[in-house]
Amino acid sequence: MGVILDKSVTVHNLVEGLDRCWPRTPVLLQRKRVAVLISGSGTNLQALIDHTTEQNSNSSAEIVLVISNKPNVQGLTRAEKAGIATKVISHKDYKSRDDFDEALHASLTSTGIDIVCLAGFMRILT
């Protein structure tokens, strides 16, 4: 009878052959539009801005709006310096929590927000 040799297969140019069969197309995910709600200095917001704008972070989020329930807070300045749109929706301008929530919801909806991040936002939402 015969002798069994080590079973092995050598494939030359495997990667090139596979590329011809299934070209590698990078999957580009559309970044999620994020609104960040704040009430103060924006230190949490700054960390989010830094991460989403880092070149090598591969973040799938883009902060497109910062809303504060208080005017003239440092967090709004941080957002403006980063080129992010800002808006103040003061809870004091509304008779009830529901009215405030509806105004907030309308602003988020009209901007096409995918994700809302509460970063030091000091109001209870319903």
- Confidence at 24, pLDDT banded by 50, 70, 90: low
Q: What is the C-alpha to C-alpha distance for residues 22 and 37, in angstroms, rounded to an integer?
A: 44
* Any domain includes 39: yes
Is 22 contained in some domain? no
Quick check: 78 pLDDT over 70? Answer: yes
Long-range contacts of residues 87-93, Cβ cutoff 8 Å, at least 24 apart: 91/123
What tokens appear for 48 in the block?
């989010």
Q: How confident is the model at residue 22 (pLDDT cuts 50, 70, 90)?
A: low
What is the model's pLDDT at position 25? 57
Highest mean pLDDT among 16-25, 28-37, 96-105: 96-105
User: Would residue 69 count as lying in a domain?
Assistant: yes
Rounded to an integer, the average pLDDT of 36-62 is 92
| Structural domain harbouring 44 | 29-118
Would you say residue 23 lies in a domain? no
CA distance 85 to 80: 7
Domain of residue 88, CATH code: 3.40.50.170
**How high is the pLDDT of residue 21?**
74
Task: Please check whether residue 33 lies inside any domain of the structure.
Answer: yes
Residue 42 lies in a domain: yes
How many structural domains comprise the chain? 1
How far apart CA 29 and CA 24 sit, in angstroms, is 15
Q: 7-21, 61-75, 83-97: which has the minimum mean pLDDT?
A: 7-21
| Domain assignment of residue 124, yes or no | no
Its pTM stands at 0.76
Instruction: Report yes or no on 98 lying in a domain.
Output: yes
How far is residue 54 CA from its own chain's centroid?
12
**How sure is the predictor about 3, in pLDDT bands with cuts at 50, 70 and 90?**
confident
Query: pLDDT by residue (tens digit) across 35-47?
Result: 999 999 999 999 9
CB 125 within 8 A of CB 101: yes
